[in-house]
Amino acid sequence: MRFVVKLGGAALEDKKLLHACGKAIAELVADGNQVAVVHGGGVQLTRTLAQLGKKSEFVAGLRITDAETRDAALMVLAGRVNKSLVAAIGSHGQSAVGLSGGDGHVFRARKKKTNPDLGFVGEIAASDPRWLEAIWTMGAVPVISSIALGFDGEYYNVNADEMAASCAISTRADTLVFLTDVPGVKGADGNVMRWLSLPQIPLLEKQQIVSGGMLPKLNACREALLNGVKRVRILPAESALLLPDLCSTRVNDGTEVMVA
């Protein structure tokens, strides 16, 4: 089977958690699966920007990105964060190849049209998975940072959830898993919803039961499911070691997002 796993937040910040995620990914490959990893690094980027004296601002979960912030994102996401994840997977005997979405034109971006303007924030306009296929052919795991190259020659900061969905669609993945800082999608009663259908999402948004960074994540879930990805699951990063069990056993952690 083919998996796309998206990592972000504490999974990239906590060394023990990062080690566990690397182990789970290596085990998925050892079981005969092809795995691509897409990662963000918002916490690390915010910290670096603060060190540079820049304040981070967000609109609907998306970072306002001027040229200086974009350059910092390129340095942090495609640099230190990407290589730390490659090392975590490699420590379990599984080779991994780190790249940004701009390498090999795997993902091309266009400027996201928003009000207010978010600067160098992009959305995926095109994808070419041939490099990912080549890496899989060599038995390795592609590890992709959420930076993409625009047709105008500029790099754009892309929401990692959106890139993960695009990656799953373009590679015709069977399963897309979001490893997150939260236990899953919570309903109005505050409890984690084990099952969430796409028709339920607009009401959750309208009632502001879900907000912030969960909004682009659920939009990414919707996009993936409506474009051929069979399974989408939001799973707490603490449960990363359950990844190899998703296809063979009943996993109760997190939220399974379904078409209906």
DSSP code string of 156-204:
EEE-HHHHHHHHHHHTT-SEEEEEESSSS-B-TTSSB-SEEEGGGHHHH
Task: From 2, 9, 4, select the one nearest 236 (Cα to Cα).
Answer: 9
Cβ atoms 36, 4 nearer than 8 A: yes
What's the DSSP call for residue 106?
Answer: S
Annotated binding site for substrate: 41-42, 63, 157
Annotated binding site: 41-42, 63, 157
Task: From 142, 82, 67, select the one nearest 106 (Cα to Cα).
Answer: 142
Cβ atoms 60, 107 nearer than 8 A: no
